[in-house]
Amino acid sequence: MKCKNTLQKGTVRYIVFREGSMWYGAGLEFNIVEAGDTPQEAMLLLFEAIRGYVESARKIKARPFILNQKPDLEYEEMWHSFEECKKMPTGRVFAAGNVNIEKSVLVPA
């Protein structure tokens, strides 16, 4: 099986959304979810978690499957819906996109 993400390069889709009074950031291919009081806090915590996840995977020379997990269906559908509309449906979604994981530097793709 060929994996999209490797220890050297790849991208992770992310979405930042609100449920109730909390904001959540989800890294789809890594199945990482972080929570914050604001969308910016949730996004910052998510990007820090993604960076740490990639750095740890590189340090232990993990197999690429941990960087290519099957995303939770709810997040997958939310991400696709946002991408198709390119707008924030009812204010629930703050941001969605891709992040490069090359060279331990996270850059929106």
Smallest Cα–Cα separation from 16: which of 5, 8, 27? 27
Per-residue confidence band for 102, with pLDDT thresholds at 50, 70 and 90: confident
pLDDT for residue 1 is more than 70: no
At residue 2, the 3 state secondary structure works out as coil
Which stretches does DSSP call E strand in the chain? 11-19, 22-27, 32-36, 93-100, 107-108
d(CA 3, CA 5): 6
d(CA 10, CA 29): 11
Is 11-101 in CATH node 3.90.550? no
Smallest Cα–Cα separation from 9: which of 103, 97, 99? 103
d(CA 27, CA 63): 18
Return the domain boundaries, the chain.
Answer: 11-101
Give this prediction's pTM: 0.86
What tens digit of pLDDT does each residue of 31-89 get?
A: 999 999 999 999 999 999 999 999 999 999 999 889 999 999 999 998 888 888 765 45
